[in-house]
């Protein structure tokens, strides 16, 4: 087991199981997340026999950064994992803090037609320690403090539910990375049963739904997941999530030239979302060399935005980050295959 993938609760159970006081879990978390030691020997307030037990029971391995690219305020990090598989994370520097987009799987089985990351079928889930490791290694390499996290890199987070939830608990823990729940965003393409499951947890994180189409016919063409969980089922789950958590949901909508960017589709989208506590995040498409879709023209994006505003839908246009280094939304793994 890796120490970076264990929650406070599980670490407390571990210590009780070896006949120690559970407060030692907090001591260990403070050493590794606040003081940033990287060996058990450095935990000076833990007795030697416990240190030896920890060394035999836990690994301290972190993913290795093997490539780092920069584009203005955006940096992309390529990680190699213990089994030589690779994933990417993207650091975005804002005037209000630093955000890291982390990956949750090696590959992705969702098969969204416009997404580069999904061209590689899912090989395996990332362990929670490998997700936490992306943050720790980026902070160490870049020298910045990560203030917000988006689980929006390679993979579908809700298809790796248990590890992702442990990851959230670890980075949110006041004795862990202490990243506030409202600074953590989970993005999903819409696995309905897991949305219901997520709504039952006492987490105040942000939920972002990759919508990308206003009707079932188009969404099923773009996103195979819609065949399993069509829009009527998905919207019921979203309403339930909002009701139980009292949290607003972000609707992500990537604009594809001549595919989903017409004024008629904007009106249709507004009808789908009217009355829900949501806002729409319009995403200019980031083109790649492997996929035929094209970016909507600026005037088309602006017209789509204006149509939603006139329909009283809260909407923003996402600022573009990192397209020059294939670090933008939907571009991860476009070169490192």
End-to-end Cα distance, the chain: 28
Give residue for tokens 């019921």.
236
Beta sheet of 206-210, edge-to-edge order: 64-71, 74-80, 86-94, 97-102, 148-151, 184-188, 206-210, 249-255, 278-284, 315-317
DSSP helix/strand/coil, 133 = helix
**DSSP-H helix ranges across 59-148:** 128-142
CA distance 166 to 3: 12
Active-site choice (43, 112, 115, 329): 329
DSSP helix/strand/coil, 336 = coil
Q: Is 105 a catalytic residue?
A: no
Q: Which helix (H) or strand (E) holds 310?
A: helix 298-310
Residue with tokens 């199981």: 17
Annotated catalytic residue, options 12, 75, 88, 105: 88
Q: Which helix (H) or strand (E) holds 46?
A: none
Place of tokens 């390529």: 78
**75 among known catalytic residues:** no
Catalytic residues: 88, 329
């Amino acid at each position: 087991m890796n120490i970076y993938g264990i929650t406070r609760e599980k670490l407390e159970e571990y210590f009780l199981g070896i006949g120690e006081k559970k407060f030692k879990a907090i001591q260990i978390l403070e050493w590794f997340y606040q003081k940033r030691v990287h060996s058990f020997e450095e935990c000076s307030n833990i007795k030697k026999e416990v240190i030896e037990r920890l060394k035999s029971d836990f690994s301290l391995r972190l993913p290795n950064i093997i490539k780092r690219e920069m584009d203005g305020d955006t940096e992309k990090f390529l990680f190699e994992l213990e089994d030589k598989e690779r994933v990417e994370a993207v650091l975005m520097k804002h005037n209000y803090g630093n955000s890291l987009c982390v990956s949750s799987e090696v590959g992705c089985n969702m098969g969204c037609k416009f997404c580069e990351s999904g061209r590689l079928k899912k090989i395996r889930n990332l362990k929670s320690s490998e997700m936490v490791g992306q943050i720790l290694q980026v902070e160490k390499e870049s020298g910045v403090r990560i203030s917000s996290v988006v689980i929006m890199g390679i993979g579908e987070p809700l298809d790796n539910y248990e590890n992702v939830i442990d990851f959230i608990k670890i980075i949110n823990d006041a004795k862990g990375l202490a990243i506030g729940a409202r600074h953590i965003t989970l993005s999903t393409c819409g696995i309905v049963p897991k949305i219901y499951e997520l709504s039952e947890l006492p987490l105040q994180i942000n939920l972002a739904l990759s919508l990308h189409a206003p009707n079932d016919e188009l969404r099923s063409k773009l996103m195979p997941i819609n065949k399993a969980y069509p829009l009527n089922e998905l919207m019921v789950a979203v309403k339930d999530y909002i009701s139980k958590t009292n949290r607003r949901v972000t609707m992500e909508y990537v604009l594809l030239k001549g595919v989903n960017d017409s004024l008629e589709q904007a009106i249709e989208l507004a009808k789908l979302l009217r009355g829900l506590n949501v806002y729409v995040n319009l995403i200019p498409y980031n083109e790649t060399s492997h996929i035929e879709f094209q970016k909507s023209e600026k005037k088309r994006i602006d017209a789509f935005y204006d149509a939603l505003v006139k329909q009283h839908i809260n909407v923003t246009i996402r600022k573009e980050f990192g397209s020059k280094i294939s670090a933008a939304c939907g571009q991860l793994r476009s070169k490192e295959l």
